[in-house]
Amino acid sequence: MNHNRLTQTTGMRVFAIINYTMLLLAAFICLLPLVNVLAVSLSSSNAANANLVKLWPVDFTINSYRMIFGRPEVHTAFWISIQRTVLGVLINNILTVMMAYPLAKSTKVFKGRNAYMYSLIFVMLFNGGLVPTYIVVKELHLVDTIWALVLPGAVPIFSIILMMNFLRQLPGEIEEAAFMDGASYFTSLLRVIVPLSMPVIATVTLFHFVGHWNDWFAALLYMNNMDDYPLQTMLQAVLKGNDIKTLDDAKLFADVSDRTLKSAQIFVTTLPILVLYPFLQKYFAQGIVLGSVKG
């Protein structure tokens, strides 16, 4: 008996070591491209263009970052991106919760559930197209406002379906107990459902954050003034424009290349997501699994 236990314990330890080794190797492989991008962004243009940079900067320089952050318009764009992301995530999350909650009920409780679900599925698969969307935004006088960046995508249907499926697997007795204590549907949603739904809320929050932070096309479409561009769109303009306004700009452009600038852009725009993800990771896996259990 002791021999079997010892063998089992040894086998479990060996399996754990192999498992952790493989996971660390996989994580290292996933990080290699990002490390390479960072190394290229901190290397000279000659080294980057000659493909001499691997995982460590060659001829270390921060001129690419000076080129990006040395412009006042980039600072303004960064602040606009923060506003757009915070406002957009807040609107997305509120509408996701408010729509997923009734859709998680049965047709006995919410008689119009199926009609709403068919409508959501239809508009998720089909849309009016780019030109009609622009006309609607223009007619609502949203062009050149931050609302043009957040309202067209205010209802994230995939997130609603994900959260709806999560809510449907919660025990109904929990909400029934709240009703017996005199709670209304709204009170039950805020005091019972939302606290229990933090894993899926964290999951959709990450989706919404990445979507708003990475989006550059909406501002290019709805903003006529570069002063209203968020960070992603502004960096696209800086990289493509390469406008030299001062002698310092001329010196910086002489020391950087398109590849080092793009690498710096990738790292700058990815960093906030890398910082946010570890705080949501433990909820993310649980939320994405539980939210896809039921149809």
Residue 233: predicted pLDDT: 87
The lowest-confidence range among 146-155, 240-249, 277-286 is 240-249
Determine the 3-state secondary structure of 257 from DSSP: coil
Q: How far apart are CA 200 and CA 65, in angstroms?
A: 36
Q: How far apart are CA 122 and CA 133, in angstroms?
A: 17
Residues 258, 263, 266, 270: what is their CA dihedral angle, to the nearest 10 degrees? -160
Residue 183: predicted pLDDT: 84
CA atoms within 13 A on the CB side of 236: 13
Q: How far apart are CA 227 and CA 248, in angstroms?
A: 22
Q: How far apart are CA 242 and CA 70, in angstroms?
A: 13
pLDDT, tens digit, 9 for 90 and up, residues 102-157: 999 888 888 888 898 999 889 888 888 888 999 999 999 999 999 999 999 899 99
CATH code at 65-290: 1.10.3720.10
pLDDT at 288 exceeding the cut of 70: no
- Three-point CA angle 242, 246, 247, nearest 5°: 105
What is the band of 286 on the pLDDT scale with cuts at 50, 70, 90?
low
Percent of the chain whose pLDDT exceeds 90:
21
pTM: 0.77
Taking phi first (over 0 means left), then psi (-120 to 50 degrees means alpha), and beta for anything else, what does residue 144 get?
Answer: left
pLDDT at 259 exceeding the cut of 90: no
Residue 292: predicted pLDDT: 46
CB 44 within 8 A of CB 61: yes
Q: How far apart are CA 185 and CA 170, in angstroms?
A: 15
pLDDT at 231 exceeding the cut of 50: yes
Token pair for 158 = 């995939």
pLDDT at 250 exceeding the cut of 70: no
pLDDT at 237 exceeding the cut of 80: no
Q: How far apart are CA 262 and CA 37, in angstroms?
A: 9
Give every CB contact of residue 57 below 8 A, 6+ residues apart in sequence: 39, 40, 42, 43
Residue 294: predicted pLDDT: 46
What is the band of 295 on the pLDDT scale with cuts at 50, 70, 90?
very low
Q: Domain residue spans in the chain?
A: 2-49, 65-290
Among candidate residues 140, 150, 157, the one with its CA nearest the CA of residue 90: 150
What is the band of 99 on the pLDDT scale with cuts at 50, 70, 90?
very high
Radius of gyration of the chain (CA): 25
Determine the 3-state secondary structure of 54 from DSSP: coil
Segment 2-15 mean pLDDT: 66
Question: Hey, which of 156-160, 165-169, 267-271 has the most confident mean pLDDT?
Answer: 156-160
What is the band of 225 on the pLDDT scale with cuts at 50, 70, 90?
confident
Identify the residue whose tokens are 């030109």: 131
pLDDT at 293 exceeding the cut of 50: no
CB 235 within 8 A of CB 74: yes
Residue 138: predicted pLDDT: 93
pLDDT, tens digit, 9 for 90 and up, residues 36-94: 888 988 888 888 887 888 888 888 888 888 877 777 888 888 899 999 999 999 999 99
Among candidate residues 207, 202, 199, 192, the one with its CA nearest the CA of residue 290: 199
Q: How far apart are CA 277 and CA 34, in angstroms?
A: 15
Cα 51 from chain centroid (whole Å): 31
Token pair for 166 = 């999560």
Q: How far apart are CA 78 and CA 56, in angstroms?
A: 28
